[in-house]
Amino acid sequence: MITTYHRPQTLEEALTLLTQPNTIPLGGGTLLSHPTPFDQTQGKPDSVQAVDLQSLGLDSLTKKGNDLEIGATVTLQALLENENCPEALKAAIKLEAPINIRNSATAAGTLVTSDGRSPFATALLAMDAKIEKALFDNSKIEYQISNIGEFLPLRPINLITKIILPLNTKFAFEFVSRTPADKPIICAALTQWSSGRTRLALGGYGKSPMLAMDGTESEGLESAARNAYHEATDEWASAEYRMDVAAVLAKRCLEAI
């Protein structure tokens, strides 16, 4: 629950506030007031101070060379409507949340609060997205860039400033859900570079999406998809079902690109 609200006007002010205990960034505000499974596992406090990011100019959406730079407070709907957003990524975003939520939920906020059923996080993991974070170092603002694979397991409470996606790739997304509006019980996202590098991420289960494959070619893709789900039993589906369907979805992704 939010007990104190701050609205800094500069990045320096925001970073100073975020050094205080039980203080976290506020983007779109769609999830911060509600506990999530990730919050519970991390033991986050019931009462927090919120640092509103809307005045910091982190809402730019820019194509730079072969990359799409997504500001932390860009909404999911703005990303979906952007001409540079890959079509398959748009499908994942639509599945992430209904339009009313997408108009408020931010890219960074969605990523930070995501679990293994998040189509958006699964897609970004497959695309090997880069996460830029701002922090104080000797009273100066420093920027660090990390791979999403390093970020997702730990979710450090840093101030994300942008998410960087490669555009010079082929990308596909497939899923199975119980209803068209439900988050998937199995989803597969596949990115392939011109060099032949092939990266497969799977979602629909657990605390974070899983990286099933990152290799120099696509050989063994279906086996990698099956192996990733060998212990993925929960209330939604059995591991055996997920293993079989994941192999099919991975194959469809490969055919699509």
Q: For the chain, which domains are there?
A: 2-41+61-166 (3.30.465.10), 169-256 (3.30.390.50)
- Bridging pattern class, strands 130-137 and 159-166: antiparallel
pLDDT in tens, 6-33: 898 998 888 888 888 888 887 756 555 4
What is the pLDDT at residue 35? 47
Residue given tokens 């970004």 in the structure block: 124
Q: 39 by DSSP, 3-state: which?
A: helix
What is the pLDDT at residue 29? 61
What is the pLDDT at residue 37? 39
Please give the structure tokens belonging to residue 116. 């293994």
**First-to-last CA distance in the chain?**
44
Rounded Cα distance between 223 and 254, Å, is: 13
User: Does residue 135 carry a pLDDT above 90?
Assistant: no
Q: Which amino acid is at 232?
A: A
pLDDT in tens, 26-84: 775 655 544 443 344 445 556 788 888 888 899 999 999 999 999 999 999 999 999 99
What is the pLDDT at residue 41? 41
Alpha carbons within 13 angstroms on the beta-carbon side of residue 218 total: 17
**In this structure, are residues 112 and 32 in contact, taking their beta carbons and an 8 Å threshold?**
no
Please give the structure tokens belonging to residue 105. 């939920």
Rounded Cα distance between 48 and 152, Å, is: 22
Higher pLDDT, 231 or 156: 231
Higher pLDDT, 126 or 1: 126
Mean pLDDT score, 153-177:
91
The percentage of residues in the chain with a pLDDT greater than 90, rounded to a whole number, is 70
What is the pLDDT at residue 45? 52
What is the pLDDT at residue 40? 43
